Structure 1
Amino acid sequence: MDLQISVFLLFILFTAGHSLRCYECNDPMGSCANQTIETCPVGSSQCLSTTAMTQVGDIHSKVSVKSCAPGCLNVSMNLNILKMTTSCCNTDLCNAKDNSDPSTNVPNGKKCFSCDGNSCLNIMSCSGTEDRCVKATEASGGQSIVVKGCASKSICDFASLFGVDGISCCEGNMCNGAPSVSQSFLFLCCSLLSYFLLH
């Protein structure tokens, strides 16, 4: 009996002492030069690394985030003014390396329509794991805001699994619809970015 209790207590001590550790940073300047090591709380089983870039006219912005996560999806998305990649792993300090700059990913041959604020007639080359064309629509202030671009299958699966309205994906080249015009889609892009970073 004492042997069983000793083995049980030893097992509890061993498993309690081994929590996942991930690098953590939230750098609005784009590089995680000052990252720290975080012991993940109970329920977090993945390390996350995300890089997002926005470009509106001549204004460029890059944000990098690393942290523990309860769940995570490897995703890549390019909506012309917003480019984002997220990678996930599940071993200690596996998110040490920064995600590659989304703008440097190698084209994969897929082509999709994209929007630039005035027209959705632009054709973009998808890269990396972006194997779907995506179209996202949101009504704001009586106006329909449309963004189009490239996305990885995991973003499309996530949107359909959780019933995210206004996002549709397709597999063929330039299958994301007839051209449409949008005056402003920065609001939608920021909403999409915050949704994927915070969920």
Structure 2
Amino acid sequence: MDLQLSVFLLFILFTAGHSLQCYVCSSLTGSCAGETFITCPDGSSQCTSTILGVQVGGISSTGSTKGCAATACVPQSYNVGIIRSTTSCCTADKCNLADAEPVATGKSCYYCDSKTCSNTVKCSGIEDRCINGTGNLAFGLSTVVKGCVSKSICDAASASGVKTLTCCEGDLCNGAQSVTQSVLFLCCSLLSYFMMH
């Protein structure tokens, strides 16, 4: 009996003293290598990997970050044609080495550019919904946001009481319509929405 208790206490000491290790890096010009890792601070129980891409006209840029999750990490992904982002979460030591690059699902949604919302984009990874939203910009202007999103983004918008955002599950279910806002306004509003939520 004493041997079992000793083994149990030893196991508790080893597991309590173990802290999660995650790769940490950031790059504005593509994938970061993730060659450096740290021991995460107390309260961090997951590693994250995020890849963000922006494409306006013929110019595209991709960046990535990896690190420890300070709060509960929720896998999420969106692709609104000109901006796409995917975040993955994992719980094992150094599990965030690979970039969060999802594969195409075959589903499509409409997205908006500076002239129309009749463009289509292919959803990938956990993007299982289409989004349709409007937002108010400066000077009384509004913009339309459409594209592919994951369920977690729809759930977060619903929980926060955002009424100008709807999600649907069918192929091309978010409808096409024309818009006249500039790409700059669309990019700014979309980035601010997803960064704030």
Q: SS of the counterpart of 1:131? A: strand
Amino acid at match of 1:195: M
For residue 191 of structure 1, give the secondary structure of its aligned residue in structure 2: helix
- C-alpha separation in 1, matches of 2:38 and 2:194: 24
Q: Which runs of 5+ in 1 are unaligned?
A: 1-5
Match among 117, 135, 150 for residue 138 of structure 1: 135
* Deviation at residue 149 of structure 1 after TM alignment: 0.5
Q: 1:20 to 1:178 in 2, by over 3 A?
A: same
User: 2:123 & 2:10 partners in 1: Cα distance?
Assistant: 52
Q: Against the structure 1 CA distance between its residues 130 and 34, is the aligned structure 2 distance closer, same or farther, given a 3 Å change threshold?
A: closer
1:51-76 Cα deviation digits (max 9, x unpaired) = 01001112211110101112111222
> Over residues 13-41 of structure 1, what are the superposed CA-to-partner deviations in whole Å (9 max), with x where a residue is unaligned?
53442011111111111211254211111
- Please report the TM-score for the alignment, with normalisation by the length of structure 2: 0.84
1:15-34 pair list within 5 angstroms: 15-33=15-33
Question: Partner residue of 1:51?
Answer: 51
Q: 1:72 to 1:183 in 2, by over 3 A?
A: same
How many aligned positions are there?
A: 190
User: Does the 8 A contact of 2:34 with 2:97 survive in 1?
Assistant: no
2:90 is matched by which residue type in structure 1? C
One-letter code of the match for 1:179?
Answer: Q
Aligned ranges for residues 73-112 of structure 1 at < 5 Å?
Answer: 73-100=74-101, 105-106=103-104, 108-112=105-109
Residue 115 (structure 1) aligned to one of 75, 94, 112: 112
Q: CA RMSD for the aligned pairs?
A: 2.6
Identity across matched positions, percent: 54
- Residues 146 and 182 in structure 1, CA contact (< 8 A), matched pair in contact too: no
Match of 1:161 in 2: 159
Distance change in 2, residues 1:14/1:128 (3 Å): closer
Q: Which amino acid aligns with 1:146?
A: V
- Cα gap change, 1:24/1:85 in structure 2, threshold over 3 Å: closer, same or farther? same
Q: Deviations over 1:62-120 (max 9, x none)?
A: 110101112111222110000111111011111011222x6xx32x2322211111111
Given the superposition, is the C-alpha separation of residues 35 and 117 from structure 1 closer, same or farther in structure 2, using an over 3 Å criterion? farther
CA apart distance, 1:135: 1.7
